[in-house]
Structure formats: C-alpha cells, structure tokens
Structure 1
C-alpha cells in the first residue's frame, strides 16, 4: 500500500508539501499541485482519515444517534443523512441509543472521542436539561424530531398531533364513530402527541374517547399484530382503525387477514407512514405521511451551517400530508 512518502518521492517534493496539499493548507504552484495529484492517482493513494484528523484537528466526521438500526424508519433516516453528508464530503458515524438515556450518553461520548465535528441526534431519552447542558459544549448538534425549549434553532420538528388528527378526521368524515387506535409506546413524546391528536379529533366530533378502543404498541410489527388481536376480541363494534406506525400496520393487517376480515368492506384502516410502505400493501393503505427523509436532509443542512458558522434559512417544522388510497370506505358493518 502506497504511503505519503511514496507520493512525495514520485512527485519530487517534500512529504510536508504532499500533506499540506491533501489538507488544503497554503498556496502552491499549479504544476506542483498537479504533480502531487498525479502521483496520488498513479499510486492509488488514499489519505488516511485518522491522519488527516490529527493534522487538521478535525475528523471530518458527523455523528448520528438513532434508537436502533433495524426497521425501515431508521434505515431511511440513516440513508438520507449519509446521502446529504456525501454532498459535503463528510464521513458518517452512527451509534444506537439502546432505548436508554445512558445508551444515548455513551453514543455522544463516542462521537466526542472520535472528534466528530457535529451530531444529528434522534434522542428519545436524554432530558431537556441534559440537552441544554450539551448545547453549552463547543461541538454543534441538531435535534431530529424533537423540540427542546431554548434550543429551537437546533430543532427539526414534525406536527404529530395534527397528523393523527387529520387521519381520524378522515375516518369520521366517512361516517365512522367506533374508531380504534394502536398507539406507540406511551413512554415516548411522539406517541403521546399522536394519541393527543386522535383524542382531539374525537372530541371535536362529539365522540367519547373509549379506553377499550385504544391499545398501546411499541412501533414494531409484532405489537401491531397483538394489538389488532386484542381489539378484534374486545371491541366488536369497531369499524375503523388508526395505526400510529407502518410497522404496526403490517402486523395488524396480518392478523386481520388471518381472521378473514375484508378491508375496507368490514374494516377501514389508516396509518402513519414515513417510508411510503403503505403504498406497497394490499389493499393500499391510506396514510398521513411523516417525511423523515426530508427532515433528515434538513437536519444535516442545518448542522453544516452551524459547523461553518453560516446563516441558514430553511424550514425546520414539517407538516403531515394525507394520502388517500384504498383502505377506507364509508362506515362498514362491525368486524365481529
């Protein structure tokens, strides 16, 4: 494997000259720079990211904190962050929070140890006070899908209550009044906000909230299956269902298919959707779209502005989009 010494020898310059050209330091004659670049090409030399970080006091790396790596939602988030960082010639380092505040702290400590220039944090467990304290440190960060009082310029947010409200209002407009809900884990702020929107839509339509029609899931497919099973048995008058994630929707659909429940003739279904999975299901499922890809892209743009200390005029608050497909019909007969 070629070294910086080999490049210098082939180009006929000192090693420090090669190093400074690689790191963009100083001004050199065009023919000197051209000889170094040609030598690097001929030797297939690739600068070491670690060596560059030591030379420039910058790792050229960005940290991304996620809850876990599995699932389309987080895959879409990571893919978009990587794509946007590629445009800035930055490296991506990812870490899982492992569903705990300590896991998230450890991830941030790892980013710091690797000298990341900045972080995109999809933090679910760190307290607002802890994030405000982190903001006093020199390394910039952006919060993705979270708002913290006092850190609003760092936050990329989504209107979760409005999204849920739009979904349930659509069901009500089709004549449904016995509307079930599979919520996310109520330990998460986003789940509370979605449940809040569900309840607001019912209240504004003078429909009483029935706890028996609401089952808590964990955003995973299995929990959607089990929640559908519980609702099928305990809420026979239910004619419509609102699912708070596409993974839970998949699980619910599996259970209803096993029970030969025909959608939308016997049950109308509407879902949250962040990765456009609902468009690929059968029947295609109506949804409110959660634009995590655009939000992740914007988070990187905002972070780059912070790192480069530039003004950044971008949309930081995103609104839902109602996408109507084939899973909702006028009020049907109860499922059981």
Structure 2
C-alpha cells in the first residue's frame, strides 16, 4: 500500500507539500499540483480520513440523531441526509435517542467525542432549555422537525396541526361525522399537534369530541393494528378514520381486512404519509404528505451554511399537501 512518502518521492516534492495539497492548504504552482495528483493516481494512493482530520482539525463527519432506526420514515430521513452530505464529501455518523432525554444526551456527547463538525438533531425528548444551552457551544446544529423559541434560525419545521386539519376537513366535506383517530404518543409535541388538528376540525364543524373515537398508538404497524381493534369495539358507528402515521395506518388496514370491513365502502380512511407508502397499498390510501425527504436535505444545506459561515436562502417551514386516492367515499355511500 502506497504511503504519502511514496507519493512525494515519485512527484519529486517534499512530504509536507503533498500533505498541504491534499488538505487544500496554501497555493501551489499548477505543475506541482499536477505532479502530485498524477503520482497519487499512479500509486492508487488514498489519503487516510483519520490522518486528514488530525491535520486539518476537522473530522469531516456530521452527526445525525434519530429516535430509532426502524421504519421507513427514519430510513428515508437517513438516506436523504447521507445523499446531501455526499455532495459535500462529508461522512455520516448516526445515533439513536431511544425515546428518552438521556439517550439523546448520550448521542450528542458521542458526536462531540468523535469531533463531528455539526449535528442534525431529530430529537423528541430534550427540553427546549437544554437545546438553547447546547446552542451556546461552538459546534453548530440544526433541529429537524422541531421548533424551539430563540433558535428559529436552526429549525426546519412542518405544520403538523394544519396537516391533520386538512385530512379531517376532507372527511367532513365527504359528509362524515363519526370520525375516529389513531394518534401517535401524545407526549410528543408533533403527535399532540396532529391530535389538536383533529379535534379543531371537529369543533369547527360542530361535531362533539368523543374519547371513545380516539386510540393512541406508537407510530408502528403493530400499534396501529391494536388501536384499530380498540376502535372497532369502542366506536362501532365510525364511518371514517384518520391515522396519524402511515405505518399505524398499515396496521389498521390489516385489522379491517381481517374483519371484513371494506375500505372505503364501509369505512373511509385517510392517513399521514411521508414515504409514499399510501400509494403502494390496496386500495391506495388518501393522505396528507409530510415531506421528510425535502426537510432532511434542507437541514443538511442549512448545517453546511453554518459550518462554512455562508448565507443560506432556503425554505425552513414546510406545508402539507393533500393527496386524494381511493380510500374515501361520501357518507351517503358509506356504512350506515
């Protein structure tokens, strides 16, 4: 395996010259750079990432904190963060927060120990005060799908409440009044906002809120199945259902198929969707789209601008899009 000494010898320059050209330090004559690059190509020399980080005091690594690794939502997020970092020749380090503040705190400490240049934080449990305190440190970070007062310039946000209202408003416009909801964990800010959107849409339409029509899930397929089962018994008159995530919706759809509830003739169904899962099911499920791919890409762009101390003119607040498919019908055609 070739070394930097071999490259210097073949190019006829000093080792420090090779090192500085690799790390982009200083200016050199074009013929000197060409000799070094040709020597590297001939010897198939690849600079050590560790050596470069020591030389430049930069690890070239970015930390991404997620709640957990499973599920299409987080897979899509990681894929898009990696794709955008590839454009900047940066490495990605990921860590799970394990649904608790201590787990998120440990992940950030790990990023710091690895000398990450910056962090993209999709954190759910750390308090606003702790994040404001973290902002006092030198390492930049961006909050993905989180709003913290005082850190507006670091936040990439989505209007969860409006998205839920759009979904339920569509069901109401279709003549439904017995509308059930499978929410996410209401301890999460985004889940609570979605639930608020559901109840506000009902209130605006003059429909009384009934807790029997609501079941709390855990953003996974199994919890969606279990929530659908609870609603099947607690709200047998429901004619429509709003699911606050595509994976919970998939579990609910499985339950209703198993119990011969026909979608949409007997039950209209609408869901949140971030990974186009709703378009791949039968029937195709109407949804409000949560653009996590675009948000993840934007978070990296914003972080790179912070690291490089450049201006970044981007959209930081994203809005939902209603996508109507085959899973809803007017009340007159639904279960009586």
TM-score tier after normalising by the smaller chain length:
over 0.9
Matched ranges for 1:159-178 at <5 A: 159-178=159-178
Counterpart CA distance in 2 for 1:44 and 1:99 is: 45
Per the TM alignment, residue 13 of structure 1 is displaced from its structure 2 partner at its CA by 1.5
Shift of 1:307: 0.8
Bigger Cα displacement from structure 2, 212-221 vs 87-96: 87-96
Unaligned runs of 5+ in 2: none
Shift of 1:269: 0.1
> Are the aligned partners of 2:264 and 2:334 in contact in 1 as well (CA < 8 Å)?
no
TM-score (norm 1): 0.98
Hey, what's the Cα distance between the residues in 1 that align with 2:67 and 2:2?
39
SS of alignment partner, residue 238 of structure 2: coil
Pair 1:96 & 2:96 matched: yes
CA offsets per residue over residues 267-301 of structure 1, 9 Å max, x none?
Answer: 00000000111000100000000000000111111
**1:72-83 alignment runs, 5 A limit:** 72-83=72-83
Partner SS for 1:167: helix
Whether the aligned pair in 1 keeps the contact of 2:268 and 2:334 (CA below 8 Å) is no
* Aligned residue number for residue 213 of structure 1: 213
Partner of 1:115: 115
The residue aligned with 1:129 is 129
Does 2:30 match 1:30?
A: yes
Query: What is the SS of the residue equivalent to 2:139?
Result: coil
Question: What does residue 55 of structure 1 align with?
Answer: 55
Distance 1:232 1:334, change over 3 A: farther
Tell me the number of residue pairs that the alignment of Structure 1 and Structure 2 aligns.
335
* Alpha-carbon RMSD: 1.0
Residues 224-243 of structure 1 show CA distances to partners (whole Å, capped at 9, x for unaligned) of 00011111112110000000
1:98 positional shift: 1.2
| Cα displacement (A) at 1:58 | 0.8
1:145/1:155 contact within 8 Å kept: yes
The one-character-per-residue Cα deviations of 1:249-278 (angstroms, maximum 9, x if unpaired) are 110011111011111000000000001110
In 2, Cα distance between equivalents of 1:9 and 1:282: 65
Distance 1:214 1:152 in 2: 33
Q: What residue number does 2:6 align with?
A: 6
User: In structure 1, what is the equivalent of residue 189 of structure 2?
Assistant: 189
Q: CA deviation at 1:100?
A: 1.1
Deviation at 1:7, TM superposition (A): 1.4
1:60 Cα offset (Å): 1.1
Distance 1:160 1:333 in 2: 28
Q: Show CA shifts across 1:173-210 (max 9, x none).
A: 00000001000011111110000000000000000000
- 2-structure distance, mates of 1:20, 1:150: 40
Cα shift at 1:334: 3.8
TM-score, normalised to structure 2's length? 0.98
